[in-house]
Structure 1
Amino acid sequence: MRVGIVGAGSIAYGTAALVEQQGHKVTLWSPSGERTRALATGEALVAQGAIVGSFHPAVATSGKDLAANTEVLVIALPAYGHKAVLDAIAPHITPEQIVIFSSHASFGALYLSRLLATRGVVIPIVAWGTTAVTGRQLSPTSVNVNTVRKQVDLATVPVSQSERGLAVCKDLFGDRFLDRGDLMAIALSNLNPQNHMGIALGNMTRMERGETWSQGQNVTPKVGRLLERLDQERIAIATKLGLDVRNIFQHFHLSFHVPISSISQMNQEMHAAGNGGSGPSTADTRYVTEDVPFGLVMTAKIGRLAGCPAELHESGIRIFSAMYDRDFTAENDLLNTLDLDAMSLDELMTLCRNGYAVAA
């Protein structure tokens, strides 16, 4: 298949390597064009780590160009860039195409569904609970893929298109997907925001000083316990809504191939195996600037709608807003555009299954 990937960071590059390794053809689009400049001249994309090889993805010059030449579109950039790229590609998406969010955040799938409904277009919109790969970009033409996950949770909007959504994902990325049924389950399946909250709070001075430090090693017992408590809040909301989602122990086991233990111990195992990853070397990191407004804020909103407040998540939003002197709640352009606060829980749950209806 011809696959268009929106983004040019570590996840986009790692995903491109995985897709081409599976025998498909990739085109990358960086909205700024800066990150893909070298690849556009013919240089190879070199992957190392869990994926090894040299690949030659094409480079698109615009969202229109990307949509016109691909069958599948993968959104693989930070959530604060989702609305802008969805606005750019939505006018050019056809009913024959499929869009995959790697990974999904803040009901971006509903925002795309609404954009397409105004054009009378319905397609499978697949939301992943996390990315298929983790890694770090080493240069404009190279990426270190830390791991390829054994299992990725997904859901398709509308649910009537679930069979097609799952089949395409398996064809492109291998048999590593579990369909969780509907988008609300996926909204509560992305563990990055809660995990990154605890890691960033526990290591903020390292980040501000620009230190080089092992993330896995520094998920110490107290940081690990905070991650476990944050996870309990998320699981409580999912349980209240009757949803089946993975817990943090399953997440680390399936993502990083370590035996189930305490979260701190699992991270120490990752560090010992050389798979603990490096923590952010700046406070200007997506662990905060993406995951607080587009992750913690969303979970907190769902918790309030469900009558199951996520008090630690709410506290994290306020603490980070104070530390950064920013109102992170106001920075989520997806939730603010969808006006989630004006919806009832039943209305939101219905949209998560069916998407927006095409106007008669």
Structure 2
Amino acid sequence: MKIAILGAGSIAFGMAAFLASAGHEPVLWSPSGTGCKTLGQGTDLVASGAVTFTGPVAAAKSCADALDGADLAIIAMPVNAHRMAIEALIPVIDPACPVIISSHASFAALYLSKCLKAAGKDNLIIAWGTTLLTGRRRGETSVTVNTVRQKVDMATLPQSRAEEGLSLCTAIFGDRFVPRDGLMAIALSNLNPQNHLGIALLNLTRMEKGEIWSQGEHVTPAVGAFIEALDRERLAIAEAFGLRTKTVQEHFSLSFHVPLGSVSEMNQEMHAAGRGGQGPSTADSRYVFEDVPFGLHATAVLGRITGRPAVLHEAGIAIFSAAFERDLTADNDLLPALSLDSLDRAALEALCLKGY
């Protein structure tokens, strides 16, 4: 299959290596034109770690070129670029080409559904609750893949096409997908924002000073307890919608192949095995500028809608906004376009099952 990957960061590079090693034809597109420029000039992509691959991977000069003849499109960018990516693909995507959002946050799938409807298209939308893999780019043409997840939550818009979406994902990426009960479940399945809040807030000076530090090692018992408390807020909101999503402990166990335990215990085991990852070495990090406005803010809004206030999420937003001297929620360009705050629970649940 020709698979267009919109993005050129760590996840996009890892995804391209995974797909190419399986015999598919990934094509990367970087909106800036620089993220995969060297690959476009014929240099091999090199992946190491949980995925090993060395070989050519195409890089498109435009979104239209990437999607020309594509059998599948994958949005693999930070969420703060999702609206831009969606608006770039709408006029050029074939109506038969499914779109995967990896990973989904801030109801980007609803914005995609709204834009597709306005364009007279009804592409299958597949939302993943997390990324297929984790990794870190090493220079212009290489990536280290830390882990390929055993399980990935997914849902489709409309929900009536769930079987089709599951079949497609399994055929391409393997038997690792867990169908959830609609987009709302996926909206509450992305644990990265809450986990990154605990890690970044309680290690912020390490980030500011540019230290090189092990992320897993520094999820100490206090940090782990904070993350578990954040998780209880998220689970309470899911319960209010009548949904079950995985716990943070299940997330770490399934994502990083460690036995169930406390969040701190599992992270210490990951660190001991050399799979604890590296914490951000700058305060200008997606842990702040992506996860706060697009992750924490969306969860906080759902808490208000359900009457299950996410007090710690709200506090994290306020603390980071104070630390960086601006309202970080104002960076979210998806929720205002959906008027999410004005929707009641029933209307939002209906959209999450049927789309626009």
Mapped partners of 1:329, 1:34: distance in 2: 28
* Residue correspondence of structure 1 range 183-222 to structure 2 within 5 A: 183-222=183-222
Correspondences of 1:1-360 after superposition (within 5 Å):
1-356=1-356
How far apart are 1:94 and its partner, in Å?
Answer: 2.1
Percent identity for Structure 1 against Structure 2: 56
2:143 partner SS: strand
Q: Deviations over 1:146-197 (max 9, x none)?
A: 0000000000000121111111111111111000020000000000000000
AA of the residue aligned to 1:313:
H
- Structure 2: how far apart are the matches of 1:88 and 1:66? 11
Query: Could you list the per-position Cα deviations for residues 241-260 of structure 1 after superposition, in whole angstroms to 9, with x for gaps in the alignment?
Result: 11110000000000000011
SS at match of 2:202: helix
CA distance in 1, matches of 2:285, 2:25: 31
Tell me the SS of whatever aligns to 1:230: helix
In 2, Cα distance between equivalents of 1:174 and 1:19: 11
Tell me the CA shift for residue 326 of structure 1.
1.4
Q: Secondary structure, in 3 states, of the residue corresponding to 1:26?
A: strand
CA apart distance, 1:331: 1.0
Shift of residue 297 of structure 1? 0.1
> Which consecutive aligned stretches of 4+ in structure 1 deviate over 3 angstroms post-superposition?
none
> Matched residue of 1:136: which SS?
strand
SS state of the match for residue 82, structure 2?
helix
> Which amino acid letter does the alignment assign opposite residue 128 of structure 2?
W
Range 319-328 or range 51-60, more displaced:
51-60
Per-residue CA deviations over 1:315-342 (Å, capped at 9, x if unaligned) read 0000000001111111100001111111
User: How far has the Cα of 1:17 moved from its partner?
Assistant: 1.0
Superimposed CA distance per residue, residues 103-149 of structure 1 (whole angstroms, 9 cap, x where no aligned partner): 00101111010011012211210000000000000111000000000
Deviation string, structure 1 residues 38-60 (Cα, Å, up to 9, x no partner): 10110010000001121322111
Counterpart code for 1:257: H
**Secondary structure of the equivalent of 1:246?**
coil
> Deviation at 1:35?
1.4
Is residue 7–residue 31 contact of structure 1 (8 Å, CA) maintained in 2? yes
Deviation at 1:69, TM superposition (A): 2.8
| Residues in 2 aligned to 1:187 and 1:156: alpha-carbon distance in whole angstroms | 12
C-alpha contact 1:215 1:276 (8 A) present in aligned 2:
yes
What is the letter of the counterpart of residue 224 of structure 1? G
Report the Cα distance in structure 1 between the residues aligned to 2:289 and 2:31, rounded to whole angstroms: 19
Count of residues paired in the alignment? 356
Secondary structure of residue in 2 paired with 1:144: strand
CA–CA distance in 1 between the matches of 2:309 and 2:179? 27
RMSD of aligned Cα (Å):
0.8
Q: Which runs of 5+ in 2 are unaligned?
A: none
CA distance in 2, matches of 1:95, 1:246: 33
TM-score (normalised: structure 1): 0.98
Q: Distance in 2 between matches of 1:319 and 1:249?
A: 25
Say if 1:155 and 1:181, in contact at 8 Å, map to a contact too: yes
Unaligned runs of 5+ in 1: none
d(CA) in 1 for partners of 2:163, 2:62: 30
Contact 2:110 2:352 in 1 (8 A): yes
- Using the alignment, how far apart are the partners of 1:329 and 1:287 within structure 2? 14
Give, in whole Å, the separation in 2 of the partners of 1:329 and 1:172. Answer: 36
* Letter aligned with residue 178 of structure 1: V
**TM-score w.r.t. length of structure 2:** 0.99
